[in-house]
Amino acid sequence: MGEEKGLGSRQAGKDTGPSLGRRALFIGGAAAAVSAAGLARDELGRLWWRLPGVEKDRKEGEVDFRGAQWVAASSANRRRADRPDDYRIDRVVIHVVQGSYATALRVFRDPGHGAASHYVVRKDGHIAQMIRELDVAFHAGNRAYNERSVGIEHEGFVDRASSFTDAMYRASARLTAAICTRYDIPVDREHIIGHVEVPGTDHTDPGPHWDWDRYIRLVKEARTASA
């Protein structure tokens, strides 16, 4: 999360920004009007997963990254979706908790917090998945970026270089490499960004001690090794 308020702030990743709103879908002539307005394809494509029997199969406790521990975030801190079919995934957003791994898990399970990331990485490299990549996590504080990205939290503090261990960098890099492979995301700083780079955010993470050159190199190495 990476702001002075830490995980205590509900603005940490709230799903803010332009909203789809409530759009009535009419039959016949009204449907033609919606089509003429250029809304039908995008809107219906994103709502298609909501129809009974359409959404992808889900299994309780299933994870997207092998070896991750499933620890479910509160449903209040995410939005059910069917990505990448309804929203294209083209970003990974790097966060720092401003606290411990245990703190991140606790607040992301709290329905009153209003925010959560897909993953949390501990100092020793252990990874918890809290939200399926199918779903939209409220982690970036920008609705459009929430819809298009996967969020990864890291235990630690933005002002402590000691927070970022070799085990953490390597585990996180393997995770990001897998995400980039899965969604054909380029491994570069345009597509792997810090929370501070999300438009409209007031957060500073991952901060000045996060070694971006090292991280991108590790992600590239991990992606090559798994190819």
**37-96 pLDDT, tens digit each:** 545 556 665 666 556 556 677 888 999 999 999 999 999 999 999 999 999 999 999 999
The reported pLDDT for the residue numbered 48 is: 60
The reported pLDDT for the residue numbered 219 is: 98
Pull the structure tokens for residue 151.
């969020």
Q: Is 119 helix (H, G, I), strand (E, B) or coil?
A: strand
| ∠ Cα 108 113 118 (to 5°) | 30
Q: Which residues share a beta bridge with 120? A: 128, 153
* Whether 116 contacts 147, CB under 8 Å: no
For tokens 């394809």, the residue is 41
The reported pLDDT for the residue numbered 111 is: 97
In whole angstroms, give the CA distance from residue 41 to residue 198: 27
The reported pLDDT for the residue numbered 44 is: 61
Q: How many residues does the chain have?
A: 227
pTM of the model: 0.83
The reported pLDDT for the residue numbered 41 is: 59
Q: Which residues of the chain have pLDDT under 70?
A: 1-14, 16-55
